[in-house]
Amino acid sequence: MAAAARHSTLDFLLSAPADCNAVLKGLQPVFQEQGMTETIHNWEDHGYLATYINKNGSFSNLRIYPHGLVLVDLQSHSDDVKGRDEIDHLLNKIEERMKELFHSSIKRVKRLPAIVRGGAIDRYWPTADGRLVEYDIDEVVYDEESPYQNIKILHSKQFGNILILSGDVNLAESDLAYTQAIMGSGKEDYTGKEVLILGGGDGGILYEIVKLKPKMVTMVEIDQMVIDGCRKYMRKTCGDVLDNLKGECYQILIEDCVPVLKRYAKEGRMFDYVINDLTAVPISTSPEEDSTWEFLRLILDLSMKVLKHDGKYFTQGNCINLTEALTLYEEQLGRLYCPVEFSKETVCVPSYMELWVFYTIWKTRTEV
């Protein structure tokens, strides 16, 4: 396999407008010492872009903005220690030279860890609110395409195995806080209760509820391959509950939950708790255009039809920073076939690296 590309950056923010020509002339010798070929683009009022190409395939872009921002981007294919040392040496020389030339006017110097692109292990996953996070992933444990989604289980040194579905971080072995929150944060008595779990293929919710001696838990998960992967590689989360589709107080249905909910509603079957672990609140703020919102409203309505009058519905919301999407979700709750009330809490889910909102929803007590 070819070596991955390493993208290194070095930024300088000057406290005064930059003399673009002086910056260029000052740094040219550093690149020339490396035997790099130079190409210069000059935009009169917009500064310089200098590109330096090395014989080994690495290259560097030097962008000098007149307002005082100087950016160095360096990309290389070398993945060995010697190659990384050479890159570090070049960046160190550039930083030293800039400090010699503009010491009194340098407001900030910023060098970020290198971004590795095209590596055998993908360590970069965005948060729900669009920030880039680099995880300490050291192994691809499981990577399969099901008829419904891409399923990855990656090993993190901090968080244990992490389930990632179609690019979204779902749950890590460290994330008991998520499971507890979507079950009511320890405030509920599940003893002798009827519980319906929508989704939950990682087995975490089922495993924790079974411990609480419910009458019966029905879990409806559409993707058998999620269950297969988690049964083998997420056992700290699911224990042994995924080993069999039926247990003393639970059953797992490998089905689409929508027809199941419709069937239960028609039969008049009711539950004390419905836990929706299917999907987070959509990031899109156009509910009339986004099919995920339509699906979400359908699930809410059907769930209310199978929820006992004094029952509770638990679900995740999304990242606390997505205030517009969360507000829109709360507006949808006012459009259901029956009036409902809700409460919410914010929980730190370790592998998400962001605060996450969870909802408890119940039928308004006057509703018959």
Residue 235 CA neighbour count, 13 Å, CB half = 5
Q: Decide if 210 contacts 187 (C-beta within 8 A).
A: no
Report the catalytic residues.
Answer: 277
Q: Which two tokens stand for residue 189?
A: 């008595």
d(Cα 173, Cα 156) in Å, to the nearest integer?
10
d(Cα 221, Cα 223) in Å, to the nearest integer?
6
d(Cα 259, Cα 290) in Å, to the nearest integer?
21
C-alpha 119: how far from chain center: 19
CA distances from 89 to 83, 85, 303 (A): 10, 6, 61
Q: ∠ at Cα 286 (332, 133), nearest 5°?
A: 100
